[in-house]
Structure 1
Amino acid sequence: MSSTDPRPVPDKCPGALSMHQAADGSLARVRLPGGVVTPAQMLVLSGAATELGNGSMELTSRGNVQFRAVSDGDELARRLSDAGLLPSPTHERVRNILASPLTGRVGGIADVRDSIGRLDAALCARPALAELPGRTLFALDDGRGDVLTARPDFAATAVSPEHHLSDDPADERTRYALVLAGRDTGVRIAESDVVDVLLASAQAFVDLRTSEWRLSELYDGPERVLAALGSTPTTESRLEVGTSSTPPVGWLPQNDGRVALGGVLALGLLDGRLAEFLAAIDRPLVLTPWRSVVVCDLDEDVADTVVRVLAPMGLIFDENSPWIDASACTGSPGCEKSNADVRADLTDAIGAGTVLRGRRQHWSGCDRRCGAPKGDVLNVVAGPTGYRVS
């Protein structure tokens, strides 16, 4: 799609204030930049799911959460605001920020944790950027390339020393590659400039777009954004962006000697009771773009207890589980456009052993393929007369 073939209508991505009316009631989406959630915030989300929704939260492919069948939108907004989860009513739908979930704790070239909050605050502080479409996606990648597979509109990824902007081999400051529409532009920037460059890129998109939802839909979008920035690509080789990635699962030794635990959720559903137990661990939590949870900064004995308690409650720590590679849209009866109860069908298929670990697949109730991840994905789509695979 290009600027000569624009989207006919504005995007209708739901938010915490602008809810979507689904077949099963009001749907609210809460943005969680970087997927970062404090224990106190998780407790608020748990209470909202139990008392104002259908009892569960849906984790999304952008590390956000959704509530279905919301009974009181005003009360939900009040609770979210009090918990610091709704810092800007004007920008709440555009706070889509991915970040490498293990950054600063396990591997990676750089630690991007501080940049998450700085990017979010700076985004909300620019009134013009409230005009971004709700589909806009930012990403901060620590060099491992995990969140770049989502093909973000505006991203920065840490690069190894051989890609440094400086010619001085003694200069070991972290540098970042500017990634636009999922592709390395060749532009290299200093760590201190990452937030400003990403927001300037987003502002250029606002100025250039007509009705496009994503930068990739704008004709020559990345090139026109670079021209607006006045940025010149380096002559070095471009970084290759992968087509798929998997969630961190199981026992993950941290750089500081402590442990992180990665747990997958079947169908990306986080039950309110399980969320309450996660909050009770009183450790930092990260919700990932693979609809999983990372519990951070645990001592080994505490980590062992967490596994023994939460595994029977539905948090999957088995790296061989087929649920690691499988996801589904809402399907029937929650979506009136769906041709099948895809969640039940996928669950049955996994139970029967016909879905195996090894290739990412997404089950959809119709051709819209809502929630389908980017990259190399096997799509199982329900039609009026059955499923087809592509």
Structure 2
Amino acid sequence: MPTARSRSDRCPGALRPWPATDGMLVRLRLIGGRVAPQQLRSLVTAAEEYGDGRVHVTSRTNLQVRAFPGTEGRLDDAALAALERTGLLPTRTHELVRNVMVSPQTGLAGGRADLRPVATALDRLVCADPALAALPGRFLFVLDDGRGDLRDRSADLGLVALDGHTAQLRIGRSWGDVVPLDRAAERLAALAHEFVVRRGTGPTAPWHVAELDAPLTPAAPPHPRLPSPGEQLSYGAVPGGRHVEVVATGLDRAAVDALTTGAPYLIVTPWRGVLVPEEQKS
């Protein structure tokens, strides 16, 4: 049965911070959890100047900072400007809806396909569609590269790679069509647009695809080549790099420096960790 809503979602962002007891909480979206070392260093600098001095990670592979100054649901201008200088707020209009989770090791080791190009294309298409700025902040795309690590993750829309060229779509709690990977981002963005049209507006509008009164598309049977659900990535040395657990208190300056030294980029994982890719040998 669809869930009855009585209010709009309040998932926090830089332009819609959450007023916590210690100040404003801000969430910054990462596509597939990927963040450049300089961006993370810039963010901890902003946290030291305006917040609690730490960068926190979420189970949706995003970053958070806490205790930022603000009033009446807005950050102070200087604090917001500091966050924009990190490069982690590429769009003001769509900042809340850039929720794209991807198998963390995709393109590094294992998996059936490198989904990084799909994730990049999906982010571009979402941000290019003005209507998709109305997606709820909790709406989530989940892309599994065929290893099964994200197959059981709750998703509004997503896919699981069947091989290097095709994937089966996920639509709410159901399976969708099998599509070419080079068209997958386009299909997912179009389905998200249809969801926005179908959900309507106002505080009672659904947050998730599964809450619609009727299915977004007809359900399809699961493809025989779908992988079995996989286990979470262990901490320590893993294929493609090193998976570091992030404690509940977050990352301070020393922890950020240790993670970013020599790293080409970092990947926040769904298991509240950071994957540090191994250096590529020339």
The question of a shared fold, defined as TM-score above 0.5 by the shorter chain, is answered with yes
The reply on whether 1:99 has 2:80 as its aligned counterpart is no
The reply on whether 1:21 has 2:36 as its aligned counterpart is no
Match of 1:154 among 157, 160, 169: 157
Q: Which amino acid aligns with 1:217?
A: E
Match of 1:63 among 61, 66, 69: 61
Paired-residue identity, %? 37
Residue 246 of structure 1 deviates from its aligned partner by: 1.5
1:36–1:287: 8 Å Cα contact kept in structure 2?
yes
> For 1:260-275, what aligned pairs fall within 5 Å after superposition?
260-267=241-248, 269-275=250-256
CA shift digits 1:262-304 (9 cap, x unpaired):
111222722233113322333210001111001113379xxxx
Q: Which amino acid aligns with 2:262?
A: I
Match of 2:141 among 122, 129, 138: 138
Residue 237 of structure 1 deviates from its aligned partner by: 4.2
Matched residue SS, 1:149: coil
The reply on whether 1:189 has 2:215 as its aligned counterpart is no
1:378 — aligned with what? none
1:250 — aligned with what? 236
1:46–1:273: 8 Å Cα contact kept in structure 2?
no
Residue 114 of structure 1 deviates from its aligned partner by: 1.8
Q: Which runs of 5+ in 1 are unaligned?
A: 161-172, 255-259, 301-390
Matched residue SS, 2:96: coil
Distance in 2 separating the partners of 1:80 and 1:147: 30
2:198 — aligned with what? 208
RMSD: 2.3
1:42–1:276: 8 Å Cα contact kept in structure 2?
no
2:31 — aligned with what? 33
Distance in 1 separating the partners of 2:158 and 2:231: 17
| Count of residue pairs brought into register by the alignment | 272
Distance in 2 separating the partners of 1:235 and 1:26: 43
Structure whose CA Rg is larger: 1
Distance in 2 separating the partners of 1:62 and 1:109: 22
2:4 — aligned with what? 6
Q: What TM-score results when the alignment is normalised by the length of structure 2? A: 0.88
Inter-CA distance 299–237: structure 2 relative to 1 (3 Å threshold): closer
Q: Which has the higher contact order (CA 8 A, sep 6+)?
A: 2
CA shift digits 1:323-362 (9 cap, x unpaired):
xxxxxxxxxxxxxxxxxxxxxxxxxxxxxxxxxxxxxxxx
Matched residue SS, 1:298: coil
Match of 2:212 among 190, 215, 218: 218
1:288 — aligned with what? 269
Q: Which amino acid aligns with 1:200?
A: A
Q: Which runs of 5+ in 2 are unaligned?
A: none
2:17–2:25: 8 Å Cα contact kept in structure 1?
yes
2:58–2:64: 8 Å Cα contact kept in structure 1?
yes
Residue 104 of structure 1 deviates from its aligned partner by: 0.9
Inter-CA distance 241–154: structure 2 relative to 1 (3 Å threshold): farther
1:297 — aligned with what? 278
1:11–1:133: 8 Å Cα contact kept in structure 2?
yes
CA shift digits 1:220-276 (9 cap, x unpaired):
33xxx226xxxx84795484773x74234211243xxxxx11111222722233113
Matched residue SS, 2:27: strand
2:51–2:66: 8 Å Cα contact kept in structure 1?
yes
Matched residue SS, 2:48: helix
Residue 182 of structure 1 deviates from its aligned partner by: 4.0
Matched residue SS, 1:205: helix
1:318 — aligned with what? none
2:146–2:226: 8 Å Cα contact kept in structure 1?
no
Distance in 1 separating the partners of 2:175 and 2:249: 30
The reply on whether 1:80 has 2:78 as its aligned counterpart is no
